[in-house]
């Protein structure tokens, strides 16, 4: 639902804004957060649900998650502010689980069902009845009816209905989950199997009831800056166009610095280094040591591949991701700095919480969370005076944000550094398709290949923290990539530092 301003996105962004404003203003946090549900949902009449009290209760849980606190059930008795003082600090990593279901916001959607709508005409041919393998369809009262106890949800009736009057429904969050990690609890509400979940975040942007949310670090980031920490913003390549068509990269840099950041660095620089490292790995190891190699930059894809195909975990590149390489690059030049990754991805929050990465990345905020900071400080993004933009990244690095871009960068790098070496590529977007790609690789279909996996359909531009339509974002990234001073990642001035950064 990216690019569609629904009531859910409106409330979500109000929450990010109010959390940021509360952190900037300081004061009695416990008192302020208790008042925020009434500010976000004013009046006595419900606007979105059956009860204004339910609306405020859900907002209360979203506020807790936005400052990194755990979600609660309706059975728990505690103020919204419970634990807030412990979160009002300059450094706090995400406590698992990262992605959470607010149970009393869940609609308890049916997991899967075939449903006959009012469009049924009770036709004479009734092909739906004829093709049903279980005899689950009968005709009475001028229309067809399905016996749910007999129906196996095969969908044959859906395919043959001339009026398209039969639909196959699936819980939206579960349908978007490529890991099959979402099922129902004893009350029919969604629940997440965290042994399967890779925190891609697709469920939280596909739930039409706004019942799923991830934890945030807005509160801690602002506290770090207020305490005098020099925080550098490492902005992911997918940023282009996310804050509106009139917000140029030059204006975005100025706006980020106006928030109190020390400076802004493009993560596309780290993407250049990542592509070079993966190219060298591929040439060195495939096929002599490994049958194929998977890209490393998407944490949800790489965790899925290692989790579901453990016997091939070594086939997923161990190259550091662009986020980590950029963080290390910043800290090599500014040893006492803090680094905030600003990007499209929920899974990057999970990656940054790993013990091996914590020293490189201190905060992860999505573009949508970042918009909350701009709104809290009343920054006019469209009219702010521009700042010079760092133009050190290549077309290759900037294209990491779109599906196919990572593999293309690695191929270009191999062609430049190892002329004559052939690189065959297979790519998949969306975890369900990534899983199929790995199954084919396991069967030997992709021996000698470079596999590019992207957890989000469309690539990083479709991440859970983005705000614009995916096609529009893809076009914006492609245009921005073409404007890079250098075409290939092999020309990056930071290449001599790669070996040191990887230590």
How does residue 331 score in pLDDT terms, banded at 50, 70 and 90?
Answer: very high
CA distance 154 to 53: 40
pLDDT tens-digit map of 195-233: 999 999 999 999 999 999 999 999 999 999 999 999 999
Q: Where does 444-486 show beta strands of DSSP type E?
A: 449-454
Which of 371, 318, 320 has the alpha carbon at shortest distance from 344?
371
Q: Which two tokens stand for residue 266?
A: 């493009």
Q: pLDDT above 70 covers what percent of the chain?
A: 100
376 has a pLDDT exceeding 90: yes
- What is the pLDDT at residue 54? 96
Q: Are 452 and 228 in contact (CB under 8 A)?
A: no
Confidence of residue 89 (pLDDT cuts 50, 70, 90): confident
Residue 2 pLDDT greater than 90, yes or no: no
The conformation of residue 494, written as its DSSP 8-state character, comes to T
pLDDT tens, residue by residue, 420-446: 999 999 999 999 999 999 999 999 999
For range 453-466, the mean pLDDT: 97
What is the model's pLDDT at position 49?
92
Q: Please report the pLDDT score of residue 166 as a whole number.
A: 97
Write down the H helix ranges in 75-206: 84-87, 127-131, 156-160, 172-176, 202-206
Res 38 pLDDT > 70: yes
* CATH tag for 112-170 (out of 2.60.40.10, 3.30.70.20, 3.30.230.10, 3.90.1280.10): 3.30.70.20
What is residue 453's predicted lDDT score, i.e. its pLDDT? 98
What is the predicted pLDDT for the residue at 1?
A: 63
* pLDDT for position 55: 97
**DSSP bridge partners of 139:** 144
The helices-and-strands tally (H runs, E runs) of the chain is: 20, 15
For the chain, give every domain's residue range.
Answer: 112-170
Q: How many alpha carbons lie under 13 Å from residue 324 in its C-beta half-sphere?
A: 25
Question: Phi, psi at residue 486, to the nearest 5°?
Answer: -120, 145
- The confidence band for 90, taking pLDDT boundaries of 50, 70 and 90, is confident
Q: Are strands 166-170 and 212-214 parallel, antiparallel or unpaired?
A: unpaired
In this predicted structure, the answer to whether residue 254 has a pLDDT above a threshold of 70 is yes
What does the pLDDT read at residue 393? 94
pLDDT digits (tens, 9 = 90+) for 467-477: 999 999 999 99
- d(Cα 256, Cα 258) in Å, to the nearest integer? 5
Residue the block writes with tokens 């890079």: 484
pLDDT at 383: 97
Mean local confidence (pLDDT), 145-157? 95
Mean pLDDT of 43-56: 94
């Amino acid at each position: 639902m990216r690019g569609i301003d629904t009531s859910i996105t409106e409330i979500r962004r109000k929450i990010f804004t109010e959390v940021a404003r509360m952190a900037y203003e300081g004061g009695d946090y416990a008192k302020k957060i208790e008042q925020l549900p009434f500010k976000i949902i004013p009046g006595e009449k419900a606007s979105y649900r059956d009860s204004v009290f339910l609306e405020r209760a859900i907002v209360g849980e979203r506020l807790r998650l936005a400052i990194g606190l755990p979600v609660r059930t309706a059975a728990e008795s505690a103020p919204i502010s419970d634990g807030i003082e412990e979160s009002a600090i300059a450094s706090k990593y995400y406590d698992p689980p990262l992605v959470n279901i607010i149970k009393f916001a869940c609609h308890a959607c049916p997991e899967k069902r075939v449903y006959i709508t009012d469009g049924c005409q009770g036709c004479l041919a009734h092909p739906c009845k004829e093709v049903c393998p279980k005899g689950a369809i009968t005709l009475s009262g001028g229309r067809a009816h399905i016996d749910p106890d007999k129906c196996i949800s095969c969908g044959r009736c859906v395919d043959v209905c001339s009026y398209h009057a039969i639909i196959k429904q699936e819980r939206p969050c579960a349908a978007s989950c490529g890991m099959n990690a979402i099922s129902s609890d004893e009350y029919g509400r969604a629940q997440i199997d965290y042994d399967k979940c890779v925190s891609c975040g697709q469920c939280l942007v596909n739930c039409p009831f706004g019942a799923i949310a991830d934890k945030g670090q807005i509160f801690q980031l602002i506290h770090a800056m207020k305490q005098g920490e020099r925080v550098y913003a490492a902005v992911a390549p997918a940023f282009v166009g996310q804050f509106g068509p009139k917000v140029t990269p030059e204006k975005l840099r100025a706006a980020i610095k106006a928030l109190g950041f020390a400076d802004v660095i493009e993560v596309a620089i780290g993407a250049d280094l990542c592509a070079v490292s993966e190219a060298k790995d591929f040439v060195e190891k495939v096929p002599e040591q490994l049958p194929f190699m998977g890209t490393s930059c998407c944490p949800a894809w790489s965790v899925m591949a290692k989790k579901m195909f453990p016997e091939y975990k070594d086939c997923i590149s161990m190259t550091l991701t662009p986020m980590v390489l950029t963080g290390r690059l910043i800290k090599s030049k500014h040893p006492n700095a803090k680094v905030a990754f600003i990007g499209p991805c929920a899974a990057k929050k999970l990656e940054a919480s790993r013990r091996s990465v914590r020293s490189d990345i201190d905060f992860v905020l999505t573009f949508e969370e970042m918009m909350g900071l701009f709104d809290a400080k009343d920054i006019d993004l469209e009219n702010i005076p521009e700042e010079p933009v760092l133009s050190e990244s290549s077309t290759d690095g900037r294209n990491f944000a779109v599906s196919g871009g990572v593999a293309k960068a690695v191929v270009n790098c191999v062609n430049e550094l190892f002329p004559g070496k052939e690189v065959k590529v297979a790519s998949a977007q969306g975890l369900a398709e990534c899983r199929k790609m790995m199954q084919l690789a396991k069967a030997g279909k992709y021996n000698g290949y470079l596999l590019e996996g992207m957890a989000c359909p469309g690539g990083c531009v479709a991440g859970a923290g983005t705000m614009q339509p995916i096609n529009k974002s893809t076009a914006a990234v492609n245009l921005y990539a073409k404007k890079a001073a250098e075409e290939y990642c092999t020309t990056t001035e930071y290449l001599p530092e790669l070996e040191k950064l990887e230590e």
